[in-house]
Amino acid sequence: MNQNSSFRQTMPVLLALSACHLFNDLMQSVVSASYPLIKDDMALSYAQIGLISLVYQLAASVFQPVVGYVFDRHPVSRSLNIASVFTLVGLALVALADSIWAMTVAVFLVGLGSAVIHPEASRITSLASAGHRGMAQSLFQVGGNVGGSVGPLLVAAIVATRGRAHIAWFCLVAVIAIIVSRPACRWYSTFLRSMRHENRRMTPPRPRPLSLPMTLFALAVITILIFSKYIYMASLSNYYTFYAIEHFGVSIAFSQVMLFVFLLSTAVGTLVGGPVGDKIGRKYVIWISILGTAPFSLLMPHAGLYGTIALSFGAGFMLSSAFPAILLYAQELLPNKLGLVSGLFYGFAFGVAGVASAILGQYVDLYGLDAVYAFCAYTPLAGIVAAFLPNLHTVRYA
Distance CA 141, CA 131 (A): 17
Q: What is the pLDDT of residues 245-291, one digit of tens each?
A: 988 999 877 887 888 888 788 878 877 777 777 777 778 888 888 88
In a domain, 1, yes or no: no
Q: Under a CB-based contact definition with an 8 Å cutoff, are residues 184 and 124 in contact? A: yes
- CATH code for position 246: 1.20.1250.20
In a domain, 208, yes or no: yes
Instruction: Write phi, then psi, for 183 (nearest 5 degrees).
Output: -60, -40
In a domain, 285, yes or no: yes
Q: What is the pLDDT of residues 59-75, one digit of tens each?
A: 877 777 777 778 777 78
Residues 60-70 as b/e (b if ≥16 CB within 10 A, e otherwise) read bbbbbbbbbbb
> Residues near 57 by Cβ (< 8 Å), separated by ≥ 6?
111, 350, 351, 353, 354, 355, 357
Q: What is the pLDDT of residues 351-377, one digit of tens each?
A: 677 677 778 888 888 888 888 888 889
CB neighbours of residue 298 within 10 Å: 16
> Residues near 347 by Cβ (< 8 Å), separated by ≥ 6?
60, 61, 62, 63, 64, 65, 115, 119
Q: What percent of the chain has pLDDT over 70?
A: 90
**Stronger pLDDT, 253 or 30, i.e. the higher one:** 30
* Lowest model confidence (mean pLDDT) among 24-28, 200-204, 245-249, 299-303: 200-204
In a domain, 86, yes or no: yes
Radius of gyration of the chain (CA): 20
In a domain, 6, yes or no: no
* Lowest model confidence (mean pLDDT) among 36-40, 130-134, 191-195, 198-202: 198-202
Q: What percent of the chain has pLDDT over 90?
A: 15
Q: Under a CB-based contact definition with an 8 Å cutoff, are residues 142 and 270 in contact? A: yes
Task: Indicate whether 86 pLDDT > 80.
Answer: yes
Q: Under a CB-based contact definition with an 8 Å cutoff, are residues 333 and 209 in contact? A: yes
Q: What is the pLDDT of residues 323-336, one digit of tens each?
A: 778 877 887 887 76
Q: What is the DSSP string of 204-253?
A: -----SS-HHHHHHHHHHHHHHHHHHHHHHHHHHHHHHHHHHHHH---HH
Q: What is the predicted pLDDT for the residue at 4?
A: 59
Specify which of 88-97, 317-326, 371-380, 385-394 reaches the highest per-range mean pLDDT. 88-97
In a domain, 298, yes or no: yes
Domains in the chain, number: 1
Range of the domain at 168: 11-394
Task: Give the model's confidence band at 5: pLDDT under 50 very low, under 70 low, under 90 confident, else very high.
Answer: low
Q: What is the pLDDT of residues 177-197, one digit of tens each?
A: 999 988 888 888 888 888 776
In a domain, 4, yes or no: no
Task: Give the model's confidence band at 397: pLDDT under 50 very low, under 70 low, under 90 confident, else very high.
Answer: very low
Task: Give the model's confidence band at 394: pLDDT under 50 very low, under 70 low, under 90 confident, else very high.
Answer: very low
Q: Under a CB-based contact definition with an 8 Å cutoff, are residues 115 and 61 in contact? A: yes
Residues 172-189 as b/e (b if ≥16 CB within 10 A, e otherwise) read ebbeebbebbebbbebbe
